[in-house]
Amino acid sequence: MFETTAEKMAQVGVIPVITVKDVDSTLETAAKAIEKGIGAVEITFRTNDGNPGYRMIAETIKKVRENFPGLMVGAGTVINAELAEMAKDAGAEFIVSPGLNPSTVEWCIDNKMPVFPGVATPSEVELALSYGLTHLKFFPAEALGGIKMLKALSGPFPQIKFMPTGGINEENYVAYRELKNVFCVGGSWVLN
């Protein structure tokens, strides 16, 4: 399920994670991604401002999509179905979440919205499989054992591909990308 989107993300290889400060600076960051030849970004729903902050982030996603139609734009840190709906309405092309919230995953599946929920344990991988998901976020990658953990997960779950994030940086991302069960990596260092 959602393999076409995952294939596009795999072609990009490294997905920059953008935390929104305001619309203008995010548009500048998106322009920098285009200049560097990066074809996708993940704009996160990280805010301490509650619903007004979430609305501003959704508006930012919409503006990035309008200004950079060739850039694949996903929404990250989507922690509930309401944010998934807000992201989709703003034009996000995929959803990434730090964990596996069944109501968020079910909403995304019901609404044909590609979703890449975060997993940290074999039990969460099995839950994702029960939804038909085979491409998952592995978070927080470095804190969970990083490459060693991903190699260990490849044995019982050969059908699963991961997008590790959390502790991925310019020193270690190549080693992650070389793993057979990694389809792309995410990180905030890319556009800094």
pLDDT tens, position by position, for the chain (192 residues)?
Answer: 788 999 999 999 999 999 999 999 999 999 999 999 999 999 999 999 999 999 999 999 999 999 999 999 999 999 999 999 999 999 999 999 999 999 999 999 999 999 999 999 999 999 999 999 999 999 999 999 999 999 999 999 999 999 999 999 999 999 999 999 999 999 999 987
Check residue 76 and give its pLDDT: 98
Which of 42, 88, 93, 161 is the catalytic position?
42
- For residue 119, what are the domain limits? 3-187
CB 42 within 8 A of CB 15: yes
| Residue 14 is assigned to a structural domain of this protein | yes
User: How many structural domains is the chain composed of?
Assistant: 1
Q: Check which CATH number belongs to the domain holding 75 and give it.
A: 3.20.20.70
Dihedrals φ, ψ of 134, to 5°? -120, -5
Residue 66 token pair? 């309008």
| Residue 192 is assigned to a structural domain of this protein | no
What is the separation of C-alpha 79 from the centre of its chain, rounded to a whole number of angstroms?
A: 12
Known catalytic residue at 42: yes
Which of 93, 137, 151, 170 is the catalytic position?
137
Q: Are strands 185-187 and 161-164 parallel, antiparallel or unpaired?
A: unpaired
Which single residue is written with the structure tokens 């285009």? Answer: 34
Residue closest to 86 by CA, chosen among 118, 111, 123, 117:
111
| Residue 64 is assigned to a structural domain of this protein | yes
Axis-axis angle for helices 81-90, 102-110 (nearest 10): 40
